[in-house]
Structure 1
Amino acid sequence: MNKTIDIQAAVAIAAAEALAAKTQGTFGVGGVLLDGFGNVLQSMHNNVVLGGLVLDPTAHGERQLIDWYFAQVAAGAALPPPQELTLVTSLDPCCMCTGAILAAGFNVVVAAPDGNAGINYDNQASFTALPAPLRVRAGSSFCYPAVRGATPYARAASGAPPKSFFIGKSINEATQALCTLVFESMVTQVMQLLHAGDESPACDPATLPHDHAVVRALRQRYPDALTYRGAPHAPGAGLAPFLLAAMAQDRRNGGAGEAAALLDSFGNLLLCLPGQQALSIIRTPFMECTRQYAQLRHELMVGKDSAQQEECKRYLGHPKHGTFVLSGGLDDSAASFMTLGAYGSTMEGALPENNPAQFQYVRPGMAHSDLLALCQALPPLYSKLIQIQPRQVADQALIAALA
């Protein structure tokens, strides 16, 4: 087992992972998980893109490290509790990863800033993008070490103090610059890839024969796929039995009894899933739903020629043209903040003008005005570009069915 008791050395490991991500053609971000003695437990990098195709919009390094930890614990590994661990990341965590970190209870050391999507986007370490109950927790667990030097990459330390096992407590200017530049070098390329050919699906998958590859792949992940069809972007009471069944399964899977559904632009139900929180506390229903859809599309397109890939896109478009529906609305918890961030990572750009109600919920988790205020306080990617504005479904019968 490798060991590092120097923040600079730990950030260098994260930077090496970021370089590996760049080589893979995805966002250049990496991280490493350390125990309370500086032992390296695992390191990972961003895997949003694999083989030139979107694999998983939630596959950020931090989220993957957290899921790795809980998978190990679920398998019986004797690992320390999260509050004794430190996740060192090459880039300021996005809202999804911040929510995941706070929900899990890890400590964080951050190298490079991210003024677009990072939780410390304003470099004040005040975490005003977070709901008020989470700001103190972030302030006591998110560490922004000093960067030594005289260039614009240099900075004073802020946030929480580094854990006591770190003897060296600062970052070299060159390493900080590397973390920044590796990320910036990939942003435009990956964003173009994420939005290439992401127009609304032209063909209705409900018209396909039951043995078509698209239908088989959908029903392998969700046997009831394509068995419900409502008005486009207006989920109705017919969705209730599917949500209720997934909610019951979510309780059996260690969750609080929630579910997330994805309907396409024709109103077809593609997925309606519970979480897997017995395996990892951050595998909530929305995380499972958006990941499963992206991985399904990747499975259908990887290794195929361009004509076959285009056929898949004609039936299974970018989810921004459909509708995500949560059984329960968002609140001020870390898990809900993770969901907001994961939704942003799934959209990664402005919503279509004809689909402003892309993100809906049935039962409210907080007053709608408070939810909108929370969304407006998010970092620029979420509040200015995507303009996240979840709204309650309009169908009163659906609301009553889940009351």
Structure 2
Amino acid sequence: MQAAVAIAAAEAIAAKTQGTFGVGGLMLDQHGNVLKSLHNNVIRHGLVFDPTAHGERQLIDWYYAERARGRALPAPGDITIVTTLDPCCMCSGAILAGGFNVVAAAPDRIAGINYDCDATFGALPAGLRAQAQRSFSYPAVLGASLYARAGAGATPRPFFIGKTIAEATQALCALAFEATSREVVALFGADRAREQLRDPATLAPDHRIVRALKQLHPDALTYRCAPHVPDAGLAPFLRQAMVRAEEGDAVALLDAFGNLLLCMSGKRAQSGIRSAFMETTRAYAQLRYKLMDGASAAQQEEVRLYLGHPREGTFVFAHGPDHGAVSFMDLGAWASTMEGPLPAHNPAQLQYVAPRIDAAALAAVCAAMPPLYRDVIGLNPTQVRDHALVAALAS
């Protein structure tokens, strides 16, 4: 136990050095052998690289990618992810969707799935709580400091039974995150406010930003609606993406002017957690990163002006969230993309066309989530207002 957490802590220190959230983790097989270790990669070179690049999510995608290459790996139920910080909602959903086990060192009382430290997992939809109680473990930390705790959660894998985490190591895990969180969150706030943004539809077709958008999504800038009010004209783009999707879902990203920037399907046949939303938010973040990394200050400013932070636009899901693990992951990933309160003029940033569960049930899922999601960011998925769009997608 101590050795595994120490490796994860070393990854967290590497993350801190990189300037991203100080969180690290590793994946162990059923015998306790290290399969892979890595750290948070949300920030690279002082820029947002991928808001979903938390350690646990990356480890799970690595697992699926290795299996796709033909590597013989144990089943997820025989795998243990060791992480320095209690998993957030995105990573918890990914872990549960894949069926992995997890050992968490330090608590996260704002965004962790066990934020109240009682290991009953009331933040999860009821149907997922029993699974979390069987697979999420919080080993004892012996000592007399504020970092000491009794063991809680699931019984760890046999090679961990009876083992604990050293106080100093657990403290290192906690402090690595605390020392980086404020600075990283501030980077998400470096983007321009709505009144400063410029319309990318006014750029010349051969402008580097337009070329990059079109290369990523050929239909970019071919649809436009009133800001934050998607209409029936979006339906063909969602349907086209749904046809390509293994799971029949799609997510569109509209900017602050109502322009279509992306409309993507998931790739869950490649990785069980590559949902349509995960693909969309990662693709947009990495598009902005590629345009800004190594660019001049003036070129970076141009990207920020024409490709604003998603909080100023609208994510439109073809199908709304439900009580499942993938939907919970998506809700958490959306919050990780926002990484702060929504602007008052855009409270309905996350919209869906077709509901999977009724609005009251979805509101209850969001209200039960940890404080970051329900109190700070104000997660509140809403159905699109345009009845013609609902009817068009249904047809």
Q: Same fold by TM-score, threshold 0.5 exceeded?
A: yes
Q: Is the 8 A contact 1:86 1:106 kept in 2?
A: yes
C-alpha distance in 2, partners of 1:284/1:303? 30
Alignment of 1:52-131 (within 5 A): 52-131=46-125
Is the contact between residue 82 and residue 105 of structure 1 (CA under 8 Å) also seen in structure 2? yes
Report the TM-score when normalising by structure 2: 0.98
Report how far residue 402 of structure 1 moved. Answer: 1.7
Matched residue, 2:255: 264
Residues in 2 aligned to 1:364 and 1:346: alpha-carbon distance in whole angstroms: 22
- Alignment partners' CA distance in 2, 1:16 and 1:245: 45
Q: Distance in 1 between matches of 2:187 and 2:388?
A: 40
Overall identity of the aligned pairs, in %: 64
Alpha-carbon displacement from aligned partner over 1:78-124 (angstroms, at most 9, x marks no partner): 11110000000000000000000000010000000000000000001
Out of 249, 263, 267, which is 2:244 matched to?
A: 249
SS in 1 for 2:10: helix
Distance 1:336 1:167 in 2: 33
Which residue among 261, 266, 277 is the counterpart of 1:275? 266
Find the aligned partners of 2:161 and 2:4 in 1 and give their Cα distance.
12
Output the CA distance in 1 between the equivalents of 2:47 and 2:232: 35
**Structure 1 residue ranges, 4+ long, deviating more than 6 angstroms after superposition:** none
- The Cα shift of 1:373 comes to 1.1
**Hey, what's the Cα distance between the residues in 1 that align with 2:337 and 2:99?**
24
Q: Is residue 219 from structure 1 mapped to residue 214 from structure 2 by the alignment?
A: yes
Q: What letter corresponds to residue 262 of structure 2 in structure 1? A: L
Map of 1:199 onto structure 2: 193
Give the Cα–Cα distance (whole angstroms) in 2 for the partners of residues 17 and 287 of structure 1: 24
CA deviations over 1:345-384 (Å, ceiling 9, x no partner): 0001110101111000000011101111111111011000
**Residue 53 of structure 2 aligns to a residue in which SS?**
coil
1:316-331 aligned at under 5 Å gives the runs 316-331=307-322
Return the alpha-carbon distance in structure 2 between the equivalents of residues 191 and 71 of structure 1. 29
Q: Which amino acid aligns with 1:206?
A: A
User: Once the 2 structures are TM-superposed, how far is the Cα of residue 167 of structure 1 from its aligned partner?
Assistant: 5.4
Query: Structure 1, residues 46-69: CA drift from partner, whole Å, max 9, x if none?
Result: 000000000000000000000000
How much does 1:197 deviate? 2.9
Counterpart residue type for residue 81 of structure 1: A
CA distance in 1, matches of 2:52, 2:240: 25
SS in 2 for 1:147: coil
Q: Could you tell me which residue of structure 2 aligns to residue 240 of structure 1?
A: 235
Matches within 5 A, 1:241-390: 241-251=236-246, 256-390=247-381
Number of the residue aligned with 2:177: 183
- Name the counterpart of 1:3: none
- Mapped to 1, the partners of 2:331 and 2:366 lie a distance apart of 8
Deviation digits for residues 4-45 of structure 1, max 9, x if unmatched? xxx111000100000000000000000000000011000010
Give the distance between the partners of 1:23 and 1:267, measured in 2 at CA.
Answer: 38
1:48 aligns with 2:42: yes
Equivalent residue letter for 2:391: A
SS state at 2:158 partner: coil
Q: Which residue of 2 aligns with 1:4?
A: none
Q: CA deviation at 1:74?
A: 1.0
Task: Structure 2 unaligned segments of length 5 or more: list them.
Answer: none
How much does 1:306 deviate?
1.2
Quote the offset at 1:165 in angstroms. 2.1
Q: Does 1:20 align with 2:14?
A: yes
Are the aligned partners of 2:192 and 2:305 in contact in 1 as well (CA < 8 Å)?
Answer: no
CA distance in 2, matches of 1:24, 1:211: 34
For 1:197 and 1:103, how far apart are their aligned partners in 2?
33
8 Å contact from structure 2 (residues 155, 161) kept in 1: no
Alpha-carbon shift at residue 193 of structure 1 (Å): 1.2
Tell me which amino acid in the other structure corresponds to 1:134: L
| Paired residue secondary structure (1:165) | helix
How far apart are residue 168 of structure 1 and its match? Answer: 5.4
Matched residue of 1:280: which SS? Answer: coil
User: Distance between the aligned counterparts of 2:126 and 2:232, measured in 1?
Assistant: 35
Counterpart residue identity of residue 120, structure 2 = S
How well do the aligned residues superpose, as a CA RMSD in angstroms? 0.8
Counterpart CA distance in 2 for 1:247 and 1:51 is 35
Q: Name the CA distance, whole Å, in 1 between partners of 2:372 and 2:186.
A: 15
Equivalent pair of 1:8/1:168 in contact (CA under 8 Å): no
Looking at structure 1, the residues matched to 191 and 317 of structure 2 have their Cα atoms a distance apart, in angstroms, of 27
- Aligned letter for 1:100? A
Q: Give the deviation of 1:202 after TM superposition.
A: 1.8
CA distance in 1 between partners of 2:2 and 2:269 (Å): 35
> Per the alignment, in what secondary structure is the counterpart of residue 121 of structure 2?
coil
Report SS of the residue matched to 2:31. Answer: coil
| Aligned mates of 2:256, 2:128 — CA distance in 1 | 35
- Cα distance change, pair 170–144 in 1 and its aligned pair in 2 (3 A): same
1:30 aligned to 2:24? Answer: yes
- 1:275-317 CA deviation, whole Å, 9 max, x = no partner? 1111101000000000000000000100012111111111000
Give SS of 1:294's match. Answer: helix
- Among candidates 129, 132, 139, match of residue 135 of structure 1: 129
**Secondary structure of the equivalent of 2:352?**
strand
